[in-house]
């Protein structure tokens, strides 16, 4: 989960709205139509940004870019980078070809190949949690959203007899939109050179190959080019979203086809038609964008869409995380704060809901866990600290994160993730300025904060969460501020 876009929401005098689902409603005026278009089209803004960057790194579409090193404090490409998975990334363009994806054989760690449509919906994940078979998969654009996702050849063949489309393949993936992205990630256990080399060999075993389309379909879909993504765009974000929506929406179906006619009508009312955006009389896109930014925050914190993890931590409800269906405001919120979020079956992102965290030079936060988060086989969790700019914190220990892959200990010094530790005991992590070294029995549970204190943010990530986490039974840690711990 990463995004460079951090927009602040201005305070607007709005009625107190309480949104749950936000299925498309036919707009009855220009303001509503404009708000709808901006919210619906907003994910194209981070899509454009990341697509251009990946196309430059990978030299085009339908090719992998492989990150080969973990982020460190000098890394400022994305905010809140994680240091426990190594990524690859590809822009998927199915306008003129199908793609054969070769999935590597990975048995020693958590991994996921996450597939996203152009709207940022995580419509399919293959890897550890879905127990995917290594081998080849055909990816094709299939405009029917009811067919979207993976169809295993074993079941296709038993249903329809011999199927030439399946020749030599594990399965066929029907993509929701002709454009999208793919993000493979592999868990990093230690980060040493040997470990990274193992992951690089998995990256090298993965591939994307263009093949002719297996079925006809609309041949008028333009390919993704720099021109499509970067020509004659306004410098104003709101106007740019409208322009990108006019270029991409005509070829990219709504996530749920039941909404298509309403989406089309609202985009048209907002001035988006025939691949062009024309500003409309009475339309104030900048103001309308601010309104949607306010509304999306309300939707994201609505009790309907979140669940409690105890101790002032919440998480998105599983039904609305990662694949947003017709909840366009929530989709806009995630595109703004954590573009390319995974579905909860892959990862749960607990959010600490009590304001911002900040330390003075002689203060510390203690995170007290009553028990370990329950995980599936090869699942893992981590707590990572960031500075006020949401980048990793430079420190003498080169430690940015602690979790199930670190040598964290109970108060008696025994390893929490030692061999066969099945106890449910309480344990603590310490976030304390780098300038104040804690006593030695805290060292392995310490995440350094900036030397003189200051604003920080902490992100807890749980990959491969088991039922006990996703059903809210596991309690997230109690967070307390206290004096820094010294010998």
Ligand X SMILES: *[C@@H]1O[C@H](CO)[C@@H](O)[C@H](O)[C@H]1NC(C)=O
As measured in angstroms, the least distance from the Cβ of 278 to ligand X is 20
Q: Mention every residue, 6+ apart, whose C-beta is less than 8 A from residue 360.
A: 453
Query: 460: closest CA among 367, 366, 350?
Result: 350
**Bridge partners of 137?**
101, 171
Least Cβ distance, residue 134 to ligand X (angstroms): 16
Beta strand 98-103 with 122-127 is unpaired
What would the two tokens of residue 382 be?
A: 């981590």
Rounded Cα distance, 272 and 243, in Å? 8
| Residue with smaller CB distance to ligand X, 360 or 486 | 486
User: Please, which residue, 113 or 123, has the CB nearer to ligand X?
Assistant: 123
Residue 246 in tokens: 């006019």
Smallest distance, ligand X to C-beta of residue 305, A: 15
The smaller minimum CB distance to ligand X, of residues 53 and 102, is found at 53
Q: What span, in angstroms and rounded, lies between the C-alpha atoms of 401 and 382?
A: 6
- Least distance from C-beta 275 to ligand X, angstroms? 19
Beta-carbon contacts of residue 388 (< 8 Å; ≥ 6 apart): 454, 455, 456
Smallest gap, in angstroms, from Cβ of residue 202 to ligand X?
A: 9
Minimum distance of ligand X from residue 293's CB (angstroms): 8
Contact (Cβ atoms closer than 8 angstroms) between residue 477 and residue 356: no
Q: How far is the CB of 401 from ligand X (least distance, A)?
A: 10
Nearest to 204 by CA among 126, 60, 106: 106
Q: For the CB of residue 19, give the shortest distance to ligand X in the complex, in Å.
A: 9
With respect to ligand X, which residue has the nearer C-beta, 60 or 275?
60
Shorter beta-carbon distance to ligand X: residue 29 or 452: 29
> Shortest Cβ distance from residue 112 to ligand X (Å)?
20
Q: Within 206-270, where are the H helices?
A: 226-230, 237-248, 260-269
Residue among 59 and 219 whose Cβ is closer to ligand X? 59
Contacts of 33 (CB under 8 A, 6+ apart): 27, 266, 267, 269, 270
Q: Which residue is nearest to ligand X (CB)?
A: 10
Which of 226, 388 has the CB closer to ligand X? 226
Q: Which is nearer to ligand X, 51 or 246 (CB)?
A: 51
Distances (CA, A) of 401 to 130, 241, 393, 444, 483: 27, 35, 10, 11, 21
Interface residues with ligand X (CB under 6 A) are: 4-5, 8, 10, 23, 25, 28-29, 32, 49, 52-53, 59-60, 145-146, 162, 164, 167, 190, 197, 200-201, 204, 226, 230, 256, 258, 286-287, 290, 311-312, 325-326, 354, 406-407, 411, 428, 441-442, 445, 467-468, 471, 473, 478
d(C-alpha 208, C-alpha 59), whole Å: 13
Angle between helices 30-41 and 285-301 (to 10 degrees): 60
DSSP state of 265: H
With respect to ligand X, which residue has the nearer C-beta, 279 or 452?
A: 279
């Amino acid at each position: 989960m990463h995004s460079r876009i951090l927009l602040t929401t201005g305070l607007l005098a709005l009625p107190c709205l309480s949104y749950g689902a936000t299925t498309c409603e036919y707009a009855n005026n220009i303001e509503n139509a404009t708000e709808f278009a901006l919210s619906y089209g907003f994910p194209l803004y981070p899509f454009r940004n990341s697509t251009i960057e990946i196309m430059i790194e990978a030299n085009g579409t339908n090719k992998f870019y492989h990150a080969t090193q973990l982020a460190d404090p000098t890394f400022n490409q994305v905010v809140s980078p994680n240091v426990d998975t190594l990524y690859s990334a590809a822009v998927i363009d199915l306008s003129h070809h199908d793609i054969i994806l070769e999935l590597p054989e990975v048995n020693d760690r958590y991994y996921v190949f996450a597939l996203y449509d152009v709207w940022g919906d995580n419509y399919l994940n293959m890897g550890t949690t879905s127990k995917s078979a290594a081998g080849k998969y055909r990816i094709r654009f299939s405009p029917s959203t009811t067919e979207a996702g993976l169809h295993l050849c074993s079941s296709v063949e038993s249903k329809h007899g011999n199927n030439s489309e399946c020749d030599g393949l594990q399965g066929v993936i029907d993509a929701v939109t002709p454009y999208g992205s793919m993000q493979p990630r592999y868990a990093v256990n230690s980060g040493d050179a040997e470990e990274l080399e193992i992951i690089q060999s998995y990256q090298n075993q993965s591939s994307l190959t263009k093949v002719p389309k297996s079925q006809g379909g609309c041949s008028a879909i333009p390919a993704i080019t720099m021109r499509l993504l970067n020509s004659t765009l306004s410098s104003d974000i709101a106007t740019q979203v409208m322009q990108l929506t006019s270029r991409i929406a005509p070829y990219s179906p709504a996530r749920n086809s039941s909404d298509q006619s309403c989406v089309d009508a609202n985009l048209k009312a907002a001035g988006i038609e025939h691949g062009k955006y024309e500003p409309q009389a009475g339309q104030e896109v900048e103001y309308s964008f601010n309104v949607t930014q306010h509304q999306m925050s309300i939707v994201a914190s609505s009790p309907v869409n979140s669940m409690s993890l105890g101790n002032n931590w919440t998480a998105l409800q599983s039904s609305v995380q990662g694949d947003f269906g017709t909840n366009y405001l929530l989709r806009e919120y995630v595109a703004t704060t954590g573009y390319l979020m995974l579905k909860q079956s892959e990862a749960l992102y607990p959010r600490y809901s009590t304001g911002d965290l900040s330390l003075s030079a002689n203060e510390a936060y203690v995170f007290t866990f009553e028990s370990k988060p329950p995980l599936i086989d090869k699942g893992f969790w981590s707590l990572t600290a960031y500075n006020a700019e949401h980048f990793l914190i430079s420190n003498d220990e080169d430690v940015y994160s602690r979790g199930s892959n670190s040598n964290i200990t109970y108060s008696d010094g025994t390893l929490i993730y030692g061999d066969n530790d099945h106890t449910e005991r309480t344990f603590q992590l310490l976030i304390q300025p780098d300038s104040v070294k804690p006593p030695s029995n805290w060292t392995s549970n310490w995440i350094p904060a900036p030397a003189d204190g200051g604003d920080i943010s902490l992100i807890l990530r749980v990959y491969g969460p088991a039922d006990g986490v996703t059903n809210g039974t596991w309690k997230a840690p109690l967070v307390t501020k206290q004096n820094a711990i010294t010998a």
